Structure 1
Amino acid sequence: MFISRCTVIGSLIRRRLFVSASFRANHHFDTLKLAQRLEAAGFSQTQSEAVLKALDEVLAESIDSLATTLVRKEVLSRQAYQQKVDFTKLRSELLSLDKTDSTQIRNEHERIMANMDKLRTQLKDEIAKSQANVRLDLNLEKGRIREEAAVHELKIKETDTRIDSELANVKTQIEAVKFQVMQWLIGVCTGTFALVLAYIRLLT
């Protein structure tokens, strides 16, 4: 009778220990052996049943209290699945942001390179224009120098012609003076010779 009661109590304790809302414990002990030890220690059958019942209640309350602090497997699985979904979503957002940033950086790089090419082309055009302007200015300056040189050469030629003309006039004037001097000398000589002849005639 006592053994059957102990067996029933043990089965109740095992049921409480093994089955709960979200937790299965692995605490196993022999209720019959515990009852025998209690009786060997001086406990009566009633006292042993009371101890086993109290122990059953304590264990049940402990397991119930522990069960309330635990998470059900379904809830844990749902939370794990939600975390996986959130992680996948976060990973997708991060990849999207990374792709967007990469695209923006690539577009910015392409824009900068396009601006650099445009500036390089503008710089080449400006250099070409500057070189063309310099060449034009040099050609104009050379033309102006040639024109001035031609003008100076013409003036020099005119001056040479004028000098030659003046020299010719001077020579002509000198020749005329020489001719006049010669005429004067001839006239003087002729007059002197005539006077001498007249004087000789008078003397003779």
Structure 2
Amino acid sequence: MLLASVRGALRHRTVVLEAVPTLMNIAQCSQRRTYIDETKALVLRNLLVDTLSMSRKFQDAGLSREQADELTKHITEVIILNKIKMEDTFVAKKEFEKVIMEQDSRVQLFKAELAKAQDNQAANVNKELERQQSFLDKMRTEVRHEIDKLTSSQRLDMNLEKGRMRDDLQGMRDKTTELEIKVDRDINELKSSVEKAKNDTIKSVITILGTFSAIAFTISRFMQMGAGGGG
């Protein structure tokens, strides 16, 4: 686009440079007034100055016609070159507005695409959240089922353990009762044996005492009899 503008400006420059001397030569001919007006409009549109008026002012200032035309030609070239440089450096208002409109259109398109992408992303996120929620609900149900099953198993094991402990305790109680009965029986037998031994001992002591008494009595009689015979 910029290259086309430069080429157009160069074409205008050629036309203007070729038209300047022609304009100056035919400006005084009334039969070609229309052509002069068109050429003047072209010059004014591209140069922004009236070269014929400039040449006349140079002539009024004391320059000859040839000098005024040559000076006007050089000034025209400078103006055209400056205009080309300005067009290369700056952007025309229409081009600038066109670029702004294109940028606005691109921005609007980008906003629409961004909004669409955000909507798609939000839909994907919601879908993923729903999938994760469903997975979590399923896992929660499975975990609850496993916990209930484990609790039931532990409860059954605890009941079995309680029953086993109850049986063991009852067995220990039975053994304790049997042991108590046996101890009581042994104690009673021991008491009976002690009483019997005590009675036997008492009888033996009584027998021994009776025997000693009889012996003592016999000895006493023998001693009395011996004392009586001696007297």
Deviation, 1:144, is 0.9
Deviation, 1:83, is 4.5
SS, match of residue 12 in structure 1: helix
Q: 1:92 to 1:111 in 2, by over 3 A?
A: same
- Written as runs of structure 1 = structure 2, the 5 A alignment for 1:1-204 is 4-5=27-28, 12-18=39-45, 27-29=48-50, 31-32=52-53, 34-49=54-69, 51-52=71-72, 54=73, 58=77, 62=81, 65=84, 77=98, 83-162=103-182
Deviation, 1:143, is 0.9
Provide the aligned C-alpha RMSD in A.
4.9
Deviation, 1:38, is 1.7
Given residue 28 of structure 2, which amino acid in structure 1 is its aligned partner? R
Alpha-carbon distance in 1 for matches of 2:179, 2:75: 146
Q: 1:81 to 1:37 in 2, by over 3 A?
A: closer
Alpha-carbon distance in 2 for matches of 1:43, 1:104: 83
1:196 matched to which residue of 2?
none
Q: Identity over aligned residues, as a percent?
A: 22
SS, match of residue 5 in structure 1: coil
Alpha-carbon distance in 2 for matches of 1:6, 1:58: 25
Residue-pair matches, total: 173
1:192 matched to which residue of 2?
none
CA contact (8 A) 2:55 2:68 kept: yes
Uncovered stretches (5+) of structure 2, i.e. residues with no partner:
1-24, 208-231
Q: 1:3 to 1:35 in 2, by over 3 A?
A: farther
Deviation, 1:62, is 4.5
CA contact (8 A) 1:6 1:31 kept: no
CA contact (8 A) 1:39 1:48 kept: yes
Uncovered stretches (5+) of structure 1, i.e. residues with no partner:
19-24, 189-204
Alpha-carbon distance in 2 for matches of 1:64, 1:173: 151
CA contact (8 A) 1:10 1:31 kept: no
CA contact (8 A) 1:17 1:60 kept: no
Q: 1:35 to 1:11 in 2, by over 3 A?
A: farther
Deviation, 1:147, is 0.8
- Normalised TM-score (structure 2): 0.48
